[in-house]
Structure 1
Amino acid sequence: LADRWGRKKTLVLGWAVGLPVPFLIMWAPTWEWIIAANVLLGINQGLSWSMTVIMKVDLVGPRQRGLAVGLNEFAGYLAVGLTAFLTGYLATIYGLRPVPFYLGIGYAAAGLLLSAWVVRDTREHLALERSQHPRIESFLSFGEVFMRTSLTDRNLFAASQAGLVNNLNDGMSWGILPLFFAGAGLNVERIGILKGVYPAIWGTLQVVTGPLSDRWGRKGLIATGMWVQAVGLFVIAALDGFGWWLLGSVLLGVGTAMVYPCLLAAVSDAADPSWRARALSVYRFWRDLGYAIGALTAGLLAAVVGFAWTIAVIGVLTFTSGVVVTLLMKEQPR
């Protein structure tokens, strides 16, 4: 859609699809309404958040992609954290429905209005970049882009597998780590601290690690970030006590911050501007599929070998993913 129809139109469509979501949840008489709202929310995220990434990459050009993606992810996850706090506060005062969802109405309306009336399409920026960086293989079908991003291009494959494994261990952490901590006797408050530290560090540091990748390169930060995550998981699995687990959670956050914006920038570096939006969409398909794979894999492993060994196995997989990045990925000229 972004390549054929235009970035702005796709962005507006995403926000239009998201507009009914808070109303559906506020007025939901049955669980089916909640499911329908989540389907629309998924479409909204797939269209609108993807366009914010792609349009920022279009705007800044090849030398500041890390900065653009880092700012985008930082702003997005900061908003997620603040909204979680605000909705929780409103829910304690006014109940679960409808007041907390008034924020959602405001967000959806603001996103739609800003996208329609303020945001401009980045088509001209894209055309300028294509004229300055011509490549031979500019016209590819979606099937060719899917295969290239998923398998045949070593840089794009390395990024896609690292994104999948990164979100795989993230999906595992949300399902398994709270149960692991609770089984060790931690109370809800301390479990909340451990789970809050990880995304807080991850979200905040992306505004630093993204620009750093513009100066230092993507490959080193990505591989090292995967290894830092693996060490965090090993610390949590092997050592006992709140202090060690806090250290492990901090390492998870730092490692994820090193990886997340740099992978998006690395995919943008490796893809021609004419099919970059499709390459980013395929990368995000594999990356976000990691959430589902991580939750399912962790659940099955935990049933067989227990929580600690499950965390350690995911740590080994994360470390191995960093090795794959080291062996396959090459820095792209910018």
Structure 2
Amino acid sequence: MTSPATTTAPGAAGDGVRLGLRANLAQFSLLVAVNALVGGMLGQERTVLPLLARDVFHLSAYTAALTYIVAFGATKAVTNFFAGTLSDRYGRKPVLVAGWLVALPVPVLLIFGPAWGWIVFANVLLGVNQGLTWSTTVIMKIDLVGPERRGLAMGFNEASGYVALAATAMATGAIAAHWGLRPAPFLLGAAYAALALGLSTLAVRETRGHARAEAARHPAPENPDHHGELTTGQIAMITSFRDRALSAASQAGLVNNLNDALAWGIFPLLFAAHGLSIAAIGVLAALYPAVWGFGQLFTGWWSDRVGRKHLITAGMLVQAAALGLVATGTGFPAWALAQVLLGAGTALVYPTLLAAVGDVAHPAWRARSVGVYRLWRDGGFAVGALLAGALADAYGPTTAVWTVAALTAASGLIVAARMYETHPRT
């Protein structure tokens, strides 16, 4: 008799493929480490790049300074969509390795770029890297663990990425305070990319067989929209609009990353305008993703116990309250509390949304559904940067923060009204 955490699944992948965290612990742990390096690549920019735009390239307009986030978000969103399709067609590992090959020039461009256009191009490449690698590590962990521990798996995946992002943001802030904004902070990114490429090439194993094995024993869905033989266009429509849970998750993901773009691009400039040092800004830039990252170790597991919907709703409303505190605060203590609340709200939402998509999508097209969801979610970076930049230029950064707070609260209410509970136990 098998335990709930480990299932032997015969079928398309051949007999003997085992689903479950315990049965695949070595590969799962390796993928956690690889995703930490994915997060670290993003963390090298969180503290330094907004200040680089202001102090080195002398970009005074918020909209101009945030073009790198627009480039990153738009590229990552589109890459997420294709990552799911490519991983179904060619396998997960080739997509992961390709993502790390694309990452290699990023630190070089950030260090030596003589004009702002070079920095924007570096973020185009970073968006491709993040879309291919983060999407693939998500899909591979879902493949390995099976349905029973999906929330826990997503908690570990997202925690590893965002804890590494936080640690790198704090480290680069400290490095920049002592050795300047370039080149020293970005040497961490160069080391991350080289190490991750080696691990992905030499140690990571293909997991597509696990998804095929799960699909072979997957019960026929009651909803005819959710049968296994669907085109990519049909999957995009179901995930984006037709299924109430998937569409609610997609809009919540977009709004969540819309407010993350605000935190990434506007918060450091807002804090600097109030006289905070680079080191203090680095601490605040790290505090939010640190709470977000560590919190997901609990919230992913919690969603496996109590379901997905209510955690997502609560998380969006907590984020909205945190943004309101940023708008009203004027010093480090208030902003530190706001960053903690923002991280806690995001921790409730982030792994739970991915787990909900994994609950609903059929294993035969789950990778593509994850890609569509992540297209919407990471499109929020581009939308958030454009919206926050335009509002900050026209009315000031505080108005931008209040507007995004209102949108985040509205998104949580949409989840409460539209989403159905997706966890199979619940």
TM-score after normalising by structure 2: 0.71
Aligned residue in 2 for 1:146: 236
- 1:187 aligned residue (276, 296, 300): 276
Question: Which of 242, 252, 258 in structure 2 is aligned with 1:168?
Answer: 258
Contact 2:258/2:384 (8 A) holds in 1: yes
What is the distance in 2 between the residues matched to 1:12 and 1:109? 11
CA apart distance, 1:6? 0.9
- AA matched with 2:128: I
Contact 2:143–2:211 (CA under 8 A) maintained in structure 1? yes
| Structural mapping, 1:15-94, within 5 Å | 15-25=100-110, 34-87=119-172
Could you tell which deviates more after superposition, 123-132 or 306-315?
Answer: 306-315
Match of 1:327 in 2: 417
Instruction: Please tell me whether the aligned partners of residues 135 and 272 of structure 1 are also in contact (alpha carbons under 8 angstroms).
Output: no
Residues 114 and 195 of structure 1: CA distance in aligned 2, closer, same or farther (over 3 Å): closer
> SS where residue 135 of structure 1 aligns?
coil
Q: Which one of the candidate residues 383, 395, 400 is aligned to 1:310?
A: 400
CA contact (8 A) 2:253 2:376 kept: yes
SS state at 1:4 partner: helix
Structure 1 residue 168 displacement after superposition: 1.0
Aligned to 2:249: 159
Deviations for 1:238-280, whole angstroms, at most 9, x for unmatched residues?
4665544333222111101111111111111111111111111
Equivalent pair of 2:170/2:286 in contact (CA under 8 Å)? no
Q: Compared with structure 1, are the counterparts of its residues 181 and 100 closer, same or farther at alpha carbon in structure 2 (3 Å cutoff)?
A: closer
Task: Mark the CA change 1:187 to 1:87 in structure 2 (over 3 Å): closer, same or farther.
Answer: closer
Question: Aligned to 1:71, what secondary structure does the other structure show?
Answer: helix
Whole-Å Cα distance in 1 between the matches of residues 219 and 171 of structure 2?
47
Partners of 1:180 and 1:92 in 2: how far apart?
18
Question: How far did 1:112 drift?
Answer: 2.2
SS of the aligned residue for 1:2 comes to helix
When structure 1 is superposed on structure 2, of 318-327 and 13-22 the one drifting more is 13-22
Matched, 1:221 2:306: no
Q: Which has the higher helix share?
A: 1
Match of 1:277 among 348, 367, 370: 367
Deviation per CA, 1:173-227: give whole Å up to 9, x if none.
Answer: 33333444455x4433555444432222112211111111111111111100001
Identify unmatched segments of 5+ residues in structure 2: 1-85, 222-226
Shift of 1:75: 1.1
Judged with a 3 Å threshold, the aligned counterparts in structure 2 of structure 1 residues 230 and 86 are, in CA distance, closer, same or farther, namely closer
1:220 is aligned with what amino acid? H
1:160/1:283 contact within 8 Å kept? yes
| CA root-mean-square deviation | 2.6
The farther-off stretch of 146-155 and 229-238 is 229-238
- Paired positions, count: 333
Q: Which residue is 1:9 aligned to?
A: 94
The 2-side partners of 1:107 and 1:299 are apart by 30
Distance 2:325 2:104 in 1: 43
After superposition, give the CA deviation of every residue in 1:143-185 in whole Å (9 maximum; x if it has no partner): 11111111111111100100111111121233333444455x4
Cross-structure match for 1:204: 294
Alignment match of 1:253 (pick from 319, 343, 356): 343
Structure 1 residues without counterparts, runs of 5 or longer: none
Partner of 1:107: 192
Cα distance in 2 for partners of 1:225, 1:197 equals 17
